[in-house]
Amino acid sequence: MENLTVEEALEQLLCHTKEIEETEEVSLLLARGRILAKDEKAEFDNPPFDRSPVDGYACHFEDLSEAKSDTPVCLKVIEEIDAGQYSDREVKLGEAVRIMTGAAIPTGCDCCVRQEDTDYGEDTVKIFKSKKKWQDYCFQGEDFKKDTVLLKKGTKIGFVETGILASMGRAKVLVKRKVKAAVLTTGDEVMTPGQPLLPGKIYNSNQSLLATRLLDFDVELVRIDTIQDEPQKMAEAIKEIAGQVDLIVTTGAVSVGKKDIMHEALRLIGAERIFWRVLMKPGMPTLFSVYHDVPIVSLSGNPFGVAVSVDVLIRPMLHKMTQDETLAIVHKKCVLKNEFSKKIKGRRYVRAFVDETGVMIPCGLHSNGVLATMAGCNCLIDMQEGRPGIHAGEEAEVLLL
């Protein structure tokens, strides 16, 4: 298949993408960003006892019905209970216990009094304020009840979810394993950053850009490598890594030039060719194939083409693999704050910045090989074919990055 629309290409990509079923148990503090592999159900009430929300005194509300600032009620203090302590004693009418925030409230008490409303007494305490029944009183199970499903399978673990799991007593948690991927870049003209730049060479920006974006998506990068512009070398690299990963992404060598080796490399290993070329700019020469059930997405060598394709084409694949809803692509309509005057000859994605006031296209070059003007951009404007351009005040379709 050749010259697919973006939607047709996505259909093929997702058709050959499998959800990851394997799970692993990880330490709670290493679970950030991972996807829960099962429902997490509470095994006890939390808190597991009635507790005080204040530093003060626990007692009977009936004893305080006449308490006022000028006519305090005096109660006998029978015990002090600090947080972490527990008392089996029953508090009777006329009695109180000194209690700290978070401490278990003993039997017989039905309210707590802030110490600021007392004389801070030790053996006896004067209370200057009446209370209602159950006032300043936290009940057992106030946070959650036993057998309640607190976090569902498929939930992405963040700092709040980590806190909830900790309150459930979880030291380890069952999660889906990460997507494993390889990034293989081509181009005898590219050099690794940090080396002295030789005449006729450029630095390999695609590798760092692509690898970092995949890390944004919580992908485990099993191999990151630069391969010589020789079909046999690329074929060997793919064969070597295919059994260890769920996805292989390559950049460069997908067009029709003498050094566009990907077509031959994939033929050498007997990969199934699914499609070549997507009707989009940038990223048109994208080549998609499958080798031993491992999808291989071969992207254009243009930096902006890579930046667009990783979100437009690869991100939906990762969404299906992980069922991580934060990877779902979000589109929204926004008012354009400036114009893009080029005629739209085909479907085009334009770098831009969106905020609550609208979407702004950066000044400067927008060619496929230019990456610098994408600095600070947080979205792509999806421009459909046939428009003479787009002007300030018009509505634009935006894809959030």
Q: 15: which residues sit within 8 A by CB, 6+ positions away?
A: none
Residues 165 and 196 in one domain: no
Average confidence score pLDDT of the chain: 95
Q: Where are the alpha helices (DSSP H) in 56-193?
A: 159-167
CB-based contact 367:280 (threshold 8 Å): no
β-pair partners for 58: 97, 112
* Residue 133 domain-assigned (yes or no): no
Q: How far apart are CA 231 and CA 193, in angstroms?
A: 24
Q: Mean pLDDT across the stretch 77-94?
A: 97
Residues 79 and 190 in one domain: no
Asked if residue 81 has pLDDT above 90, the reply is yes
Q: How far apart are CA 195 and CA 109, in angstroms?
A: 74
* Residue 51 domain-assigned (yes or no): no
Q: Which CATH number is 186's domain given?
A: 3.40.980.10
Residues 77 and 117 in one domain: yes
> Over the stretch 23-44, which tens digit does the pLDDT of each residue have?
999 999 999 999 999 999 999 9
Residues 188 and 114 in one domain: no
pLDDT value, residue 339: 85
Q: How far apart are CA 80 and CA 96, in angstroms?
A: 9
Considering only CA atoms, give the Rg of the chain: 32
* Residue 136 domain-assigned (yes or no): no
In order of 191, 222, 314, 319, the CA distances from 214 in angstroms are 21, 12, 9, 12
* Residue 307 domain-assigned (yes or no): yes
Residues 299 and 224 in one domain: yes
Name the residue among 63, 52, 69 with its Cα closest to residue 131.
63
Looking at residue 378, its amino acid is N
Residues 208 and 275 in one domain: yes
Asked if residue 386 has pLDDT above 80, the reply is no
Residues 195 and 315 in one domain: yes
> Over the stretch 172-211, which tens digit does the pLDDT of each residue have?
999 999 999 999 999 888 899 999 999 999 999 999 999 9
How far is residue 344 CA from its own chain's centroid?
34
Q: Mean pLDDT across the stretch 91-105?
A: 98
Residues 231 and 273 in one domain: yes
Asked if residue 269 has pLDDT above 80, the reply is yes
Q: How far apart are CA 127 and CA 113, in angstroms?
A: 8
- Structural domain that includes position 33: 27-46+143-176
How far is residue 35 CA from its own chain's centroid?
9
Q: How far apart are CA 265 and CA 253, in angstroms?
A: 10
Residues 172 and 236 in one domain: no
Residues 218 and 256 in one domain: yes
CB-based contact 313:359 (threshold 8 Å): no
Domain count, the chain: 4
* Residue 135 domain-assigned (yes or no): no
Chosen domain end from 266, 299, 327: 327
Taking the CA atoms of residue 60, residue 66, residue 72 and residue 78 in that order, the dihedral angle to the nearest 10 degrees is -20
CB-based contact 61:73 (threshold 8 Å): no
How big is the CA angle at 309 (ends 381 and 362), to the nearest 5 degrees? 35
- How crowded is residue 243: how many other Cβ atoms within 10 Å of its Cβ? 8
* Residue 134 domain-assigned (yes or no): no
Chosen domain end from 295, 327, 359: 327
* Residue 169 domain-assigned (yes or no): yes
Q: Where are the alpha helices (DSSP H) in 103-230?
A: 159-167, 205-216
Residues 163 and 36 in one domain: yes
Asked if residue 289 has pLDDT above 90, the reply is yes
Written as one string, the DSSP assignment of 11-39 is: HHHHHT------EEEEEGGG-TT-BBSS-
Please give the backbone phi and psi of residue 344, each rounded to the nearest 5 degrees, phi first.
-90, 100
Q: Which CATH number is 121's domain given?
A: 2.170.190.11
Q: Look up residue 30 and give its two tokens.
A: 């290493």
Residues 299 and 194 in one domain: yes
Whose tokens are 């590219």? That residue is 190
Q: How confident is the model at residue 369 (pLDDT cuts 50, 70, 90)?
A: confident
How far is residue 20 CA from its own chain's centroid?
17
Whose tokens are 């290993």? That residue is 269
